[in-house]
Amino acid sequence: MSQATERPVLDPTIALPFHQAALPVLRDAQLRKNVAHAIDVIQTKRGRLVAEKTDWQELRSAAAEIRAHVLENLGTYLEQFEARCTAAGGHVHWASDAAEAREIIRGILRSEKASEVIKIKTMTSAEIQLNPYLEADGVNVFETDLAEIILQLGNQEPSHIVVPALHINRSQVREIFAKSMGRPELSDDPQTLTDAARRYLRRKFLDIPAAISGANFLIAETGGVAIVESEGNGRMCLTLPKTLIALAGIEKVLPRFTDLEVMLQVLARSATGERMNPYTSLWNGVTPGDGPQNFHVVLLDNGRSSILGKAKERQTLRCIRCAACMNACPVYRQTGGHAYGSVYPGPIGAILTPQLMQLQHAQSLPYASSLCGACYEVCPVKINIPEILIDLRAQVVDQERHKGSGIFSPLNVGLRIAGVLFSSAGLFHAAQRIGRIGARLFTRKDGWIHSLPSVGGKWTQTRDLRGFPKQTFREWFENRPAKIGTEGK
Amino acid sequence: MSAPSSGRESVLNRIRKATSTVALDGPRLAERYSSIPRNYVRAGKLSNATKIALLIERLRDYDADVAESAPGAIADTIREKLTGSGRQTFAAPGGLPRIWMAPSFNWVIDNGLSHEEIEKVDGVVTAATCAIADSGTIVLHHSANEGRRVLTLLPDWHLCVLRASQVVETLPEYFARVTQPPALVTWISGPSATADIEMTRIKGVHGPRHLCVILVGD
């Protein structure tokens, strides 16, 4: 089952629990080296550019407040966006879930008789598993972001939301390109490989009449949509085709055009460690003579409104998908993205995925963290990820406890027994004495317990446990040699 | 093909129920919005000369080719750059000053060129709306002298002429200058690039691989 060469599963409904999915990665030295290298490069650049910004904390505060304000008034701002976008010549669609969104997009492509479509990297489309759905409907989907091409041609899955192929190194990219583009002469020089991608896509940009994008920001004030990118593949898709479909989570809206002065500054620095990404595009609906004349926005709920309804968890939706949290995470650095069993890996994935799935799936993800807080510290919109992780853990435990089988689970039986023992001093002391006798069976000569049977084995699998001391503190206190200063009492 | 209205209503209903607060009317929403604290740096502090120097440094950091020019010498500076590029055929937006188009080159003026026609040119010359020194960003609003979006996208070589008065220090200063949000904006920070393979920055993926900027003193 757990071979590193197997294609990872990024569907939370069928993915393995995190601690199992992480095992093949932990054994794959090459993959861990690739991930660590990429993370170190981004982290160093980010650190340098954040440090040079004297108003970084003020920018973070403003970004967090803007996003929180949007979420409080989300309905109003979405309706405003819809009205302005429609007035500017766009069509706005609303999708309750993934199936509705896929259906809407297929409908638009069918009415345009589009059998091929070019795509800008969009994690939201991966969330609704759009590509396989369209392929099954006879539409050829061409990813245009370099990392996405690597994944698509190599039949691989994304492991990061900003640099989706960071787990693949240059010689692996060379293998993929040489095979799928029929160019065995290619070297593994990144410049050569990038040129190969440019040539591979150039004709497609000019010929394919429909494009699908995500959206970094929707502007309520103007009905505009903004896309932040580096390569120019985004600009190609936004400019050349006749038809453009932008798929956006309902939370992506900003009140005004001016709010970009905050969001663009924090996003580029957080995501790629740049002062500004090479290209950002903003457009309102349709402009005659410039760009696609048939423009659609699909607003996707897919579980977001249920997150919106929970006071503490609502902040999850402030996320602007910069990936700073996964770059800072000591767990992600070891496991890479695939272990999270979702297109959203890392700390944000650990809170977002279980909530989008309403905790029926991905229950192991809230535990995929050491709660060190590095993610919160770097988050440009101040999402308190550790706080939500703890809250989700409590919800998982509650759900388990109320399940029929949960009553007899070792954990719950243990906790109930502990509850009884801790409620009486006599019982507690008796339990201590019995425990000390019992533990003696497993304590080695060095004073440590190296292995316990049954449930206890889960602890000793990876850690040693210090043996019980000969007496408790209370016993020592009662029998200590000189009771100085207690005579008068 | 049209959106099922049921989708719209059910999404909006769930959102309203989730936010549960009474929807604020226009003035109260605006009031709440304006109370968002914005204590970040908005106005720059640099002198004009230092600001221009910073912009040049940032642009060169992105591997852009930068030249300065006196107002009376724009046409000459453009001609030098065109010659230096070793290219022959250039596209120009309809509103580009004719005096900028040196007669020794072939000029294709965009009054509705096809994508294929634009794909064939060697380069493009445009003006710009603004530049932000702090991040080395050039802003296009795609007006008559900046051209349609496709015009600065397909050609491999882009020469952009900026006036010193168009340069601001910070991103918020740009937004303060924009009184009416434009329908189209492209923010360009250096030539197209990727770091998708082992985080190695590679210049020039799909957009123009060469960016040349002429800064004109006022």
What pLDDT, in 10s, does the model give residues A12-63? 999 999 989 999 888 999 999 999 999 999 999 999 999 999 999 999 999 9
Percent of chain A past pLDDT 90, that is, above it, reads 76
What mean pLDDT value characterizes chain B? 93
Q: Scan residues 25-64 of B and list those with Cβ closer than 8 Å to A.
A: 29, 32-33, 36-41, 58, 62
Asked if residues B190 and B63 have their Cβ atoms less than 8 Å apart, the reply is yes
Q: How distant is the Cα of A423 from the closest Cα of chain B, in angstroms?
A: 41
pLDDT of residue A84: 98
User: Does residue A112 surpass a pLDDT of 70?
Assistant: yes
What mean pLDDT value characterizes chain A? 92
* A69 interfaces chain B, CB cutoff of 8 Å: yes
Q: Which of B29, B36, B174 sits opposite A62 (nearest CB)?
A: B36
Instruction: For residue A219, list chain B residues with Cβ-Cβ distance below 8 A.
Output: 181
Instruction: For residue A265, list chain B residues with Cβ-Cβ distance below 8 A.
Output: 40, 171
Q: How distant is the Cα of A451 from the closest Cα of chain B, in angstroms?
A: 42
Cβ distance of B150 and A166 shorter than 8 Å? no
The C-alpha atoms of residue B181 and residue A123 are separated, in whole angstroms, by: 28
Q: How distant is the Cα of A32 from the closest Cα of chain B, in angstroms?
A: 13
ipTM reported for the complex, 2 dp: 0.95
Contacts of A336 (CB under 8 A, 6+ apart): A25, A31, A32, A35, A159, A167, A345
Q: Which of A94, A201, A239 sits opposite B150 (nearest CB)?
A: A239
Q: Scan residues 2-31 of A and list those with Cβ closer than 8 Å to B.
A: none
The C-alpha atoms of residue A326 and residue A328 are separated, in whole angstroms, by: 5
Residue A271 β-bridge partners? none
Dump pLDDT digits (tens) for A174-183.
999 999 999 9
Cβ distance of B40 and A262 shorter than 8 Å? yes
What are the E-state strand segments in A315-378? none
Which range (A65-79, A84-98, A158-172) has the least confidence? A158-172
The C-alpha atoms of residue B33 and residue A265 are separated, in whole angstroms, by: 20
Which is nearest to A232 in space by CA: A341, A146, A294, A303? A146
Confidence of residue A234 (pLDDT cuts 50, 70, 90): very high
* A52 interfaces chain B, CB cutoff of 8 Å: no
pLDDT of residue A483: 61
Cβ distance of B40 and A58 shorter than 8 Å? yes
Confidence of residue A485 (pLDDT cuts 50, 70, 90): low
In 10 A of CB A438, how many CB atoms?
12
pLDDT of residue B2: 45
Q: Which of B11, B200, B208 sits opposite A299 (nearest CB)?
A: B11
Cβ distance of A74 and B171 shorter than 8 Å? no
pLDDT of residue A463: 85
pLDDT of residue A1: 35
Q: Which residue bears the tokens 């957009």? A: B207
In 10 A of CB B27, how many CB atoms?
8
In the DSSP assignment, the letter for residue B127 is E
User: Does residue A151 surpass a pLDDT of 60?
Assistant: yes
What are the structural domains of chain B?
48-216 (3.40.50.10420)
Q: Scan residues 170-189 of B and list those with Cβ closer than 8 Å to A.
A: 171-172, 174-175, 178, 181, 183-189
Give backbone dihedrals phi and psi of B31, rounded to 5 degrees, phi first. -65, -45
Dump pLDDT digits (tens) for A238-290.
999 999 999 999 999 999 999 999 999 999 999 999 999 999 999 999 999 99
CB pairs under 8 A between A and B: 250
Confidence of residue A404 (pLDDT cuts 50, 70, 90): low
**Smallest CA–CA distance from B205 into chain A, residue:** A231
DSSP A437-453: HHHHTTB-TTSEE---S
Q: Which residue bears the tokens 């007899």? A: A408
**Smallest CA–CA distance from B211 into chain A, residue:** A278
pLDDT of residue A487: 52
Instruction: For residue A197, list chain B residues with Cβ-Cβ distance below 8 A.
Output: 205
**Smallest CA–CA distance from B112 into chain A, residue:** A289
What are the structural domains of chain A?
1-52+331-402 (no CATH), 62-305 (3.40.50.10420), 423-479 (no CATH)
In the DSSP assignment, the letter for residue A408 is G
Asked if residues A276 and A53 have their Cβ atoms less than 8 Å apart, the reply is no
**Smallest CA–CA distance from A173 into chain B, residue:** B197
* B87 interfaces chain A, CB cutoff of 8 Å: no
Q: Scan residues 361-420 of A and list those with Cβ closer than 8 Å to B.
A: none
pLDDT of residue A452: 86
Rounded (5°) CA angle B182-A222-A314: 135
Cβ distance of A94 and B11 shorter than 8 Å? yes
> What is the pTM for the complete model shown?
0.91
Mutate one of B9, B13, B15 to test the A interface: name it (highest A CB count within 10 A). B15
Q: How distant is the Cα of A106 from the closest Cα of chain B, in angstroms?
A: 9
Rounded (5°) CA angle A273-A276-A282: 135
Mutate one of B132, B199, B201, B203 to test the A interface: name it (highest A CB count within 10 A). B199
Percent of chain B past pLDDT 90, that is, above it, reads 83
User: Does residue A391 surpass a pLDDT of 90?
Assistant: yes
Mutate one of B124, B206, B211 to test the A interface: name it (highest A CB count within 10 A). B206
- The CA R_g of chain A, rounded to the nearest whole Å, is 27
pLDDT of residue A402: 77
* B99 interfaces chain A, CB cutoff of 8 Å: no
User: Does residue A411 surpass a pLDDT of 80?
Assistant: no
A465: left (phi over 0), alpha (psi -120 to 50) or beta: beta
Confidence of residue A3 (pLDDT cuts 50, 70, 90): very low
* A42 interfaces chain B, CB cutoff of 8 Å: yes
Asked if residues B17 and A307 have their Cβ atoms less than 8 Å apart, the reply is no
Q: How distant is the Cα of A16 from the closest Cα of chain B, in angstroms?
A: 28
Q: Which of A42, A146, A299 sits opposite B194 (nearest CB)?
A: A146
* Token representation of residue A366: 């809230």
| Amino acid (1-letter code) at residue B127 | A
Helix, strand, coil percent values for chain B (each to nearest 5): 35, 25, 40
Percent of chain B past pLDDT 70, that is, above it, reads 97
Instruction: For residue A44, list chain B residues with Cβ-Cβ distance below 8 A.
Output: none
User: Does residue B24 surpass a pLDDT of 60?
Assistant: yes
Instruction: For residue A42, list chain B residues with Cβ-Cβ distance below 8 A.
Output: 199
Confidence of residue B205 (pLDDT cuts 50, 70, 90): confident
Q: What is the b/e burial string over A27-40, where b = at least 16 CB atoms within 10 angstroms of the residue's CB?
A: ebeebbebbeebbe
* B17 interfaces chain A, CB cutoff of 8 Å: yes
Q: What is the b/e burial string over A338-375, where b = at least 16 CB atoms within 10 angstroms of the residue's CB?
A: bbbbbbbbbbbbbbbbbbbbebebbbbbbbbbeeeebb
- The CA R_g of chain B, rounded to the nearest whole Å, is 22
Check residues A129 and A435 and name the one with the higher pLDDT. A129
Q: Which of A75, A147, A231 sits opposite B192 (nearest CB)?
A: A231
What average pLDDT score do residues B78-107 get?
97
Mutate one of B19, B151, B156, B196 to test the A interface: name it (highest A CB count within 10 A). B196
* B204 interfaces chain A, CB cutoff of 8 Å: yes
Helix axes A56-72 and A74-87, enclosed angle (nearest 10): 90
What average pLDDT score do residues B199-213 get?
87
Instruction: For residue A282, list chain B residues with Cβ-Cβ distance below 8 A.
Output: 184-186
Rounded (5°) CA angle A424-A425-A426: 95
Helix axes A170-180 and A146-153, enclosed angle (nearest 10): 60
pLDDT of residue A350: 96
Residue B193 β-bridge partners? B203
Q: Which of B24, B62, B205 sits opposite A198 (nearest CB)?
A: B205
Instruction: For residue A239, list chain B residues with Cβ-Cβ distance below 8 A.
Output: 149-150, 153
SS3 A92: strand
Cβ distance of B178 and A257 shorter than 8 Å? yes
